[in-house]
Amino acid sequence: MKHVLPLLALLAMLLGAFDAGAATARIKDLTSLQGVRGNELFGYGLVVGLAGSGDTERVFFTSQSVSSMLGRLGIRIDPADVRSRNVAAVMVTARLPPFARPGTRIDVTVSSIGNARSLAGGVLLVTPLTGPDGQTYGLAQGPVQVGGYEASAAGSSLRKNHPTAGRVPSGGTVERAVVHDLADGPLVFQLADPDFATASRIAGAIGGVVGPEAARALDPAAVEVVVPDARRGDLVALVAELEALEVVADERARVAISERTGTVVAGRNVRIRPVVISHGGLRVSIGSTPVISQPAPFSDGGRTVRDRMAAIEAEELGIGVQALPAASNVDELVQALGLLGVGPRDLIAILQAMKAAGALDAEIEVL
């Protein structure tokens, strides 16, 4: 109980502060504009300059890539003759941000696809970055930063994190822009968490700026805004004004549970009904006592034997029968759960049983 009460008290304090002054949120934090999104890019490249930790000759496509690259530089070499361990074949991935213009620098991620042991100290050669449509949208090149290492000697090895994947900060350059035409049709704000009440409130807040007939909730996940003719010439300012509006975001009552770590997080709308709970557990203790067995006096061929004797004790633990009152807010919920006097892992089992009995008005999400 001494561990669960401070956690519940902290939860009550945080959620109480949320109820008091942070009940509203900006539309910018709740939604995104339809059609304005990033795009995934990828490419195949080579990382060179590795200290003998690159792909072996068994990775034939690396040898072919090295031979092809040298061929474009006027050096003819058979792929079978490539024996370098300082090169690794990698896949390069990046995310093209919305409204990125040519010349914008972006970060790229490099991942080995051969049997290289580490990419530490390597340099990524120029790699075209293409989109799903096959068009080239960027180029990547630069030194690879790896957040791990691997060392081996005399059959022993030491490894930390993943040395076969790394990043090239600002290693990509945008060569082609993806055009987002906001003036083509109405603006549609997409909710990150679809909800009928939140969508209705967003439509009402936007209608107060552009007119009640210009904003309507299409469904719980989208709010459509017809741009007035007077504001169509400056959509950037209009979107900035609308995204700065604040609304009260509704949410479902939810309890998140992580059985791996024993973590329980309850939302502000969680309610419990009057319920009677009986919860118990079993504690098993196993002790070991050394035992010496000696032969009888004057016996022939006997020897002293050392053994151990196990002592097993079982104790049934429980809180008896506890009646919990109804709780209609977070403070009452914390006080009610604190009456149980159990640890976080037992609290998980109790909450799941309360939900099954219909005494918990919340959705349980197991992480």
Average pLDDT of the segment spanning 71-83? 85
- DSSP, collapsed to helix, strand or coil, labels residue 142 as strand
| pLDDT of res. 147 | 80
pLDDT digits (tens, 9 = 90+) for 98-131: 889 999 999 999 999 999 988 988 999 999 999 9
pTM, 2 dp? 0.65
Joined tokens for residue 247 = 């609304």
The more confidently predicted of residues 42 and 352 is 42
Q: Is residue 5's pLDDT more than 70?
A: no
**Residue type (1 letter), 316:** E
Q: Is residue 213's pLDDT more than 90?
A: no
pLDDT digits (tens, 9 = 90+) for 170-206: 999 999 988 877 777 789 999 998 889 999 999 999 9
pLDDT band, residue 300 (cuts 50/70/90): low
The more confidently predicted of residues 341 and 74 is 74
| pLDDT of res. 10 | 44
pLDDT digits (tens, 9 = 90+) for 260-295: 777 777 777 777 777 777 666 545 455 657 777 777
Cα–Cα distance list, 349 to 39, 259, 298, 346 (Å): 43, 9, 62, 5
Whole-angstrom distance, CA of residue 363 vs CA of residue 269: 10
Alpha-carbon torsion (204, 206, 209, 213), positive or negative: negative
| pLDDT of res. 317 | 55
Lowest-pLDDT range of 156-160, 203-207, 333-337: 333-337
| pLDDT of res. 108 | 96
The more confidently predicted of residues 72 and 21 is 72
Joined tokens for residue 223 = 């709010």
